[in-house]
Amino acid sequence: MSKGRILVVDDDDACRFGVREFLEAHGFEVVEADSGRAAERAFRARRPDVAIVDYRLPDLDAIELLGRLKKVDAGVAVVILTAHGTIELAVRAIKDGAEHFLTKPLELPALLVILERVLEQQWAKRRQAAGSRRDAREAVDPFTGTSRAIRALASDAEKVLASDSPILIQGETGAGKGVLARWLHNHGRRAQEAFVDVNCAALGRELLDSELFGHEKGAFTGAVTSKAGLLEVADRGTLFLDEIGDMPMEVQPKLLKVLEEQRFRRVGEVRDRQVDVRLIAATHQDLSSLVRERRFRSDLYFRISTLPLHVPPLRERVEDIQVLAAQALERLAGELGRRPLALAEDACAALQEYSWPGNIRELRNVLERAVLLARGDVLTRHDLRFELAAAEAEPAAERSLTLAELERRHITRVLADEDGHVERAARRLGLPRSSLYEKLKRYDLARP
């Protein structure tokens, strides 16, 4: 990952070459242009963060070029160079939106200081624009507990931090895949950059397409202005694609191209743009079976599956439940401005007996409800209302079931709750409707 992409515009080859050598040695990526028109072309194709423009160009003057570049991308910073540094010129350049004005012969260390400051401001702005939910979730430690399953995840996660390859997080709904993705971003090399979070299941094909890749004005009905895609917002940072198993087949090749060539196109655009993102993908589905069923592209799977992380379901880490519950209670107390409630022994036992199909998210929900309803300072078993009502009645029996049987029972219950409405049941179960139909067939559950 480079420190920044810099466009150097000067018709003097020696000067351009000198600046290039110097900037590359300091970790920047350099794009060159020897005329105003070449600069415009390079600018559209490569989207530099900063343009360093010589005042005298063979075809345009720097002020005119400045205007054209800002029209393409208002966020670009422009540094103007001139051999005849007059005050009037400097004032005009700054008025027209140039960030800095430097005189030739260029003092390279001064240029370096300016570039670093400009880039820092730019990245601060971009992080804000990402508006990614830097909420309380950020502080959550995804590896709370001492169970073998969670310690194994912690050690696997440490190992992938150094790499820049895509990461695939698999795990059940509510098990903490998003929290882990956020942790990976915050502890990786791109921590200072944007973290952009997109749920592929929540958007239809067209919306996902234009949200992710952006679109040009007039690309489709309603596209009255050009819009940058989230990929551009995530440039140099991390793109978190949740529920990647639900990404439509038509969108998958475009994502593959981003991963293989670091290129993409906005919808309705004819030229490629460059982008540098680290992908973290997550899914609760078994992606390899989607590949076998030809519902997920095998080449994309090949590309994203080399660094797999498996988030264990809560029932495989029963010994962590107590500390997770205590943590959640403390958090809830903070939000409500109260003292944290204690957990009675029988309540703790009940939490450990329950099967937690909704995992940590469900644990939080159950505790939140309990805290709101509880009257004393201690939560007892009586205060807990589980989402699987039947689990309370026969927890021990429930725990001896196979996973398949548990799934069958849960589906039956949810379906009954929803009066046999498959679409609503699928939504509640966090499944695509087609998967629920398959399960109904597999478990021989007749649809009412």
Partner 1 sequence: MTWRDRKPRLLVVDDEEAILLAVHDYFSHRGFDVSCARDPAEADRHLDQQAYDGVIADLRLSGSDGLEGLQIIARVRARSPVTRTIIVTAYGSLEAEREARRHGVDAFLHKPVPLAEIARVVTSLMDPSLSSES
Kindly list the residues in this chain that would bind partner 1 in the complex (CB under 8 A): 165-166, 260, 287-289, 291-292, 298-299, 301-303, 305-307
Cβ contact 296:253 at 8 Å: no
C-beta closer to partner 1: residue 30 or 168? 168
3-class SS of residue 163: coil
C-beta closer to partner 1: residue 19 or 157? 157
3-class SS of residue 327: helix
Residues 6+ apart with CB under 8 A from 136: 331
C-beta closer to partner 1: residue 300 or 379? 300
- The CB-of-300 to partner 1 minimum distance in angstroms stands at 9
The bridge status of strand 227-228 relative to strand 214-215 is: antiparallel
- The CB-of-245 to partner 1 minimum distance in angstroms stands at 12
C-beta closer to partner 1: residue 305 or 365? 305
Residues 6+ apart with CB under 8 A from 159: none
- The runs of H, that is alpha helices, within 280-337 are 287-292, 298-304, 321-336
C-beta closer to partner 1: residue 121 or 298? 298
C-beta closer to partner 1: residue 292 or 447? 292
Cβ contact 24:30 at 8 Å: yes
DSSP for 328-358 reads HHHHHHHHHTSPPPEE-HHHHHHHHHS--TT
Omega before 105 within 30 of 0, i.e. cis: yes
In the chain, % helix, strand, coil (3-state, to 5) comes to 50, 15, 35
- The CB-of-262 to partner 1 minimum distance in angstroms stands at 12
Q: What does each C-alpha distance from 245 to 197, 207, 254, 286 come to in angstroms?
A: 15, 17, 15, 8
- The CB-of-298 to partner 1 minimum distance in angstroms stands at 4
- The CB-of-89 to partner 1 minimum distance in angstroms stands at 49
- The CB-of-293 to partner 1 minimum distance in angstroms stands at 10
C-beta closer to partner 1: residue 155 or 289? 289
Cβ contact 79:54 at 8 Å: no
- The CB-of-260 to partner 1 minimum distance in angstroms stands at 6
